[in-house]
Every structure is written in C-alpha cells, then in structure tokens.
Amino acid sequence: MLQKYNNDLNSINAQDALQILLDGNKRFTNGISVNKDLLSKVELTGNSQKPFAAILSCMDSRAPVEIIFDQGIGDVFSVRMAGNVTSENVLGSLEYATGVVGSKLLMVMGHTNCGAVKGAIDNVELGNLTQLLEKIRPAVKDACTDGKNCTSVDKEYVDAVAALNVHNAKQSILDQSPIIKELVKEGKVLLVGAMYDVEKGEVSILDSKFVV
C-alpha cells in the first residue's frame, strides 16, 4: 500500500497516482491520517509544486478532495465547479496541471445527493446558474429510462444522473482538449471517473465510457 506521495513525480506512474488516492480515501473512512504535519509541506512546496493528480469535482461543501483523499499541501490540483462540469477555464486549468506541471492522474469526481444535479432535473433557472445546469441536462435526459421516477426526489435517479454526468465530463475533456487527449493516448495521463458517497465517505471508481 502506497501510504502517501513523496513529492517526486518521477517516482510514480499513473496507476500509482490512482492508488495513492484510493489508499488515502481508505484512511479517511477509517479515521486515520498521515498528513497531519501540514507546516512541513508548506516549507517543502514553498518554491515549487509537483501535484501528482488533478481532480475536477463539485463545489459541494461535503466533498473537499484533499480531506476525503487524505492528501496534504502540494499533493493535488483541485478544480471545483458546481456539478463538476467543464468550461474553457476548467480545461485550461487541467491542461496546466497535466501538460505543464506533469500530473499523472486526471480524475473527474461526482458525488451522491448532488444539489446541482437536482437543480438540472428540476429545470432551475437563476442567473448564471442556468447556463451551468444546461451542461448537466444531457445526463438528466439519458438517465431517465423506462420504469424510473425521473424526479429530484428519487435518490437512485439523482445518483444515476450524477454518474452519467461524470462520464459526459470526461468525454468533454477529451473532445475539447487536444492536449489532454494526446497525453491520454500516449499513456502519460490516466483519465478516470469517480463517485463520492456523501453519507459513507467512500469513493468508487466508475467504469470507463469514453472514446479517445
């Protein structure tokens, strides 16, 4: 088991990076942390940073990635957006992480009981939020299969939309970022989707459903 990142990108590969996150989440769910000495990480990263992973996740206050993966200062790039949707600014941030700094892992993480997903299901319209929720609505439509109560009060449906929205975000990254697409094709970056359970604190990896 890889306990934690040693701040050396050359010492790990993409699979190692994923395992470090999964090991960290296991520690989190067990109430254990190996990243208590944050001041030492401040001193270590004061002049440079070498995060091994970049995580696009929702802004939900219950899903802070550094905590749920038990990572310290300088370990991961965290890009947070309601509904973990993509945009030019998000893509630029992820390209910086993978194409400039050299992060080995790119994760898109949704979560259960997502407020943004519920808003998309309910066709909420509110200022700039309206346009953001439009990016989730393809998943709202596609997840509504026969026999489902396709409303925001159906927990199973809400979580199905959230998972499908993760897959859509991954595909969007590949379709709209030639830089990341090439890094994935070359095997330099691993792109994965994940779901975080806000009730259990557990992260699960989703099956890949995207085309490079």
pLDDT digits (tens, 9 = 90+) for 127-170: 999 999 999 999 999 999 876 789 999 999 999 999 999 999 99
Tokens of 127: 């200022």
Residue 4 lies in a domain: no
Residue 201 lies in a domain: yes
Confidence of residue 212 (pLDDT cuts 50, 70, 90): very low
Q: Given this model, what pLDDT does residue 4 score? A: 65
Portion of the chain with pLDDT greater than 90, in percent: 80
Give the residue-averaged pLDDT of 72-91.
96
Residue 211 lies in a domain: no
Residue 115 lies in a domain: yes
91-130 residue pLDDT tens: 999 999 999 999 999 999 999 999 999 999 999 999 999 9
Helix (H) or strand (E) holding 164: helix 155-176
Distance CA 22, CA 69 (A): 7
pTM of the model: 0.91
* Phi/psi of residue 95, nearest 5 degrees: -70, -35
Q: Given this model, what pLDDT does residue 41 score? A: 72
Give the residue-averaged pLDDT of 51-79.
96
Residue 2 lies in a domain: no
If one counts the domains in the chain, the total is 1
Query: Higher-confidence residue: 36 or 79?
Result: 79
Mean pLDDT of the residues in the chain:
92
Q: Given this model, what pLDDT does residue 148 score? A: 75
How many C-beta neighbours within 10 Å does residue 47 have?
6
Residue 49 lies in a domain: yes
Residue 186 lies in a domain: yes
* Phi/psi of residue 133, nearest 5 degrees: -65, -25
Q: Given this model, what pLDDT does residue 211 score? A: 47
Distance CA 65, CA 77 (A): 9
Tokens of 13: 């590969």
Residue numbers of the domain that contains 35: 9-205
Burial class (CB in 10 A: 0-12, 13-18, 19+), 189: buried
Report the CATH number at residue 123.
3.40.1050.10
